[in-house]
Each structure stands twice: as structure tokens, then as C-alpha cells.
Amino acid sequence: MTEPVLLELADHIAWITLNRPEAMNALNGAVREALPRAIRAAEADPGVRVLVLRGAGERAFCAGADIKEFVEVASPPEYRQQRVHDSWIGAFDQARKPIIASIHGVCLGGGLEISLACDIRIAADDALIGLPETGLGIMTGVGGSQRLPRVVGMGAALDMMLTGERISAARAREIGLVTRVVPRAELHAATAALAAHLAARPPMAMAFAKEAVRGAMDLPLREGMRLEVDLLTLLLNTEDRLEAARAFREKRPPNFSGR
């Protein structure tokens, strides 16, 4: 059987590929098992500095949950208990390294939700993005209702969730859902260039900056400011901070070690 998620490592970058192109990379039980395993493996590898999440095939990043698994539903208490303890999406939140979502084609439902769990979203100009769940009599279930308004604001989030309409990559950029849009043929090269740029930067500073920004979502301003200062203080005596200063004085590119 083909692996539902592929993990490839090259030049400090972990390429994580949803590998069900025949099903538009829909999320099934096998993917939900394999995806956090790949993220945790990349996170634990000291040679990896950046993770990229993408979809196999030409049609989709991810079309959402596999409807074939919705034939039978557990009782409401059983289902809620199962989902409360289903921590597969938590692997994204636990990752300290930057995660890029490289989006092409269809990106719907759970596909959008996993991209929202990433740190940066870059999209091809052919991307169609949406949350169709309410039209199916359900709603998001892996963070869409929580992460989307944090990214685009409540109004735009409710518009997407309640109408179920698919938006273009250009519209997604307008509302801040994605930060970069490139021609489809250039998506891989643009993603690789962005990942390489991040991989060349000081890993500890990247991790702490990510922690500060994500932490701010759950903290009052005063506590967030304290977290920022605490993290900055920890960075001041790192080897990479000192290397950056030396390289600046010597007018040469820095060589960051991650220490």
C-alpha cells in the first residue's frame, strides 16, 4: 500500500506530503495517524529547521475529511469523548519549528483547517479555499472556528463558515488568509525558496519568535509583553546571536548553528 503521508528531508527542510491524490488528499484515519507522526519526526530531527506541508497530485492540497468515513457515527457522547482526546492536530501546535503550508488546487474543510495550523500559508493562483461544513449539516471540527477568526477576523471568518463559499487565492490574500500567491507553475520553487530562507536564519530565534506570536493569541497584552522580554533575554547569549554580530562587523554571511 502507498504511504498516506510522505516525509522527505533535504537541506534542513522536511517536505511532508499528503499522499492520496486519487482522493484529492482527503483526510482519513490513516492520514490522521501518519501526519502527526511525520511532524513529530521532523521536529525531533536536529538537522531539520523548517517543515513544509503540501498535497500530492495536480488537483488538490486537501479536499477535507474523507466522506466515506462518515457512513456510521457514534453516539454524541462517544463522538465528543473521542474527539476531545483525538490530539492529532495538536502536533502542529507543539512544533517549535516553522511550518509552511504550500497550497494548490482544492483546499477545503479539514484541508483549510490543517493549513490554518501552519505558520505561513503560500498559495498557487489556482487555489480554491473554503469551509463547506455547514452546508453538510455539520461544522468545523479540528480548529477552523477558532483559528480562522484569529487569522482573518470574525467577520470574514463567519462569512466563509456560514456561506460555505469557495474563495480564490487572490481573495484569500486580501483577507490575510494566505500571505503569498504565486503562479501554479512556480509554487514549488517559491515554496522551496521561502523554506530555504527560513532555514538559513537562526533556529532558536525563529522558535522563540514563533512562541511569542502564538502565545500572544492566548494572553493579555501585559503578559504577552513579559513573555516577549523573557524570550529575548534568553536569546541574548546564544552562539547564534553572537555569530550574527560578528558576521555584521566582518561584513560576511553568518553561519548559524542553532545554539
Q: Is residue 259 part of a domain?
A: no
Within this chain, do residues 172 and 209 fall inside the same structural domain, yes or no?
no
Q: Is residue 121 part of a domain?
A: yes
Distance CA 243, CA 161 (A): 47
Within this chain, do residues 130 and 182 fall inside the same structural domain, yes or no?
yes
Within this chain, do residues 141 and 239 fall inside the same structural domain, yes or no?
no
Number of domains in the chain: 2
Q: Which three cell numbers stand for residue 224?
A: 504577552
CATH number for position 110: 3.90.226.10
Within this chain, do residues 224 and 144 fall inside the same structural domain, yes or no?
no
**DSSP reduced 3-state for 176:** coil
Q: Is residue 256 part of a domain?
A: no
Q: Which residues are catalytic?
A: 113, 133
Within this chain, do residues 124 and 195 fall inside the same structural domain, yes or no?
yes
Residue 74 is predicted with a pLDDT of 63
Within this chain, do residues 209 and 188 fall inside the same structural domain, yes or no?
no
Ranges of residues in the chain whose predicted pLDDT is under 50: 85
Residue 101: phi and psi, rounded to 5, are -100, 120
Within this chain, do residues 95 and 222 fall inside the same structural domain, yes or no?
no
Q: Is residue 207 part of a domain?
A: yes
Within this chain, do residues 107 and 217 fall inside the same structural domain, yes or no?
no
Cβ(103)–Cβ(123) below 8 Å: yes
Within this chain, do residues 214 and 156 fall inside the same structural domain, yes or no?
no
Domain boundary among 160, 183, 199: 199
Distance CA 80, CA 85 (A): 9
Distance CA 164, CA 233 (A): 45
Residue 67 is predicted with a pLDDT of 75
Q: Is residue 257 part of a domain?
A: no
**Grid coordinates 502527526 are at which residue?**
36
Q: Is residue 258 part of a domain?
A: no
Q: 99-103 and 120-124 as β-strands: parallel, antiparallel, unpaired?
A: parallel
Residue 85 is predicted with a pLDDT of 47
Within this chain, do residues 212 and 188 fall inside the same structural domain, yes or no?
no
The three-point CA angle 3-142-18 to 5° equals: 20
Within this chain, do residues 190 and 237 fall inside the same structural domain, yes or no?
no
CATH number for position 226: 1.10.12
Range of the domain at 233: 203-250
Within this chain, do residues 228 and 153 fall inside the same structural domain, yes or no?
no
Task: Report pTM.
Answer: 0.93
